Amino acid sequence: MAGPSDRPLLALAFSLAASLGFAGMGVCVRALGPSVGSFEAVFVRGLLGAVTGVAIHLALGRSLRITAPGVMVLRTIAGTLSLCCYYGTIKRGAGALATANLLLKTAPVWVALGASFLLGERASGRTWIALAVGLAGAVIVLVGPTQSADRGVVALGLCSGVCAAGAYLAVRRLAASEDPLTVVTLFSIGVAVFMAPVVLVEALRAPPRVPGARELLLLAGVSACGTVAQVLMTHAYRHSKAAIVAVSGLAEVAFTVVAAIAIFGERPGPWTFVGGGLAVLAGVVATWPQASAASTAEE
């Protein structure tokens, strides 16, 4: 596989498409409500993604081997923990879907910090400005919807962001040499393997209710949206720096706020809209100067 390129506009397109997919995943999790537990939802998301990914590999005659299995394990652990925390934040309902997403989207801050130490990427001045803008947007939205939330819910949401940052950094490293579909398939397999004993213990403690048609459809939506979004995100990391892709992914906040209003009738305050707008602006600030540089290089 060819190494990662510096094509930020292409990375932005992939990242925005991935943001739509991740927003759809959050909507499905929110719609499930308490009918399916967080651990069960994460397990099914991994299982369905694994079955689909393996089937595609078999059909195309591709191998599931990669050159950096250790990094893949780290990516799987961090990603699984992030999913558990994120789903748990949504399902505990103290804030609404938009608030849980905002807490998750503190990840770019940790990505920018970690990329310098772990990947040797030096963030530009514009990227740091974008990080400040994105963080300001997160704080603005956080002040309103989560005022009544208990500290445990807030901590859970922030943990999802920290773990997501670890997963993104590992994805950036894997994207340099591995096929995106293979990375996502192995991640799905790992999620299912890690969560299987957890779900089994939960089932022994309290036998779960058999999901109905609606729950099964929503679980399929969680897996489909999450898997497609991760493939797109992995492609994005092949074409630009980790911090830039992570910041541009903040556009997911805007998509999630729109979905929360249109589908669930949530009524975020005006500060939520201000914060969401800043999050989108952060992606533009991070990408624009890099795009100009890339255009000059191509000429």
Q: What is the mean pLDDT of each run of 10 residues along the chain (299 residues)?
A: 63 86 91 86 94 95 92 94 89 64 73 69 72 73 54 72 87 83 94 95 83 91 92 82 69 79 74 68 59 38
The reported pLDDT for the residue numbered 299 is 35
pLDDT for the residue 173: 82
Residue 185: Cβ-neighbour burial (10 angstroms; 0-12, 13-18, 19+): buried
* pLDDT for position 295: 38
State the Cα angle at 241 between 239 and 247, rounded to 5°: 105
pLDDT value, residue 50: 95
Query: What integer pLDDT is reported at residue 190 of this predicted model?
Result: 96
Among the listed residues 28, 66, 30, 17, the one whose alpha carbon sits nearest the alpha carbon of residue 185: 66
Joined tokens for residue 189: 């397999």
Q: What is the pTM of this model?
A: 0.77
pLDDT for residue 104:
77
Long-range contacts of 207-213 (CB under 8 A, 24+ apart): 208/37, 208/40, 209/35, 211/35, 211/36
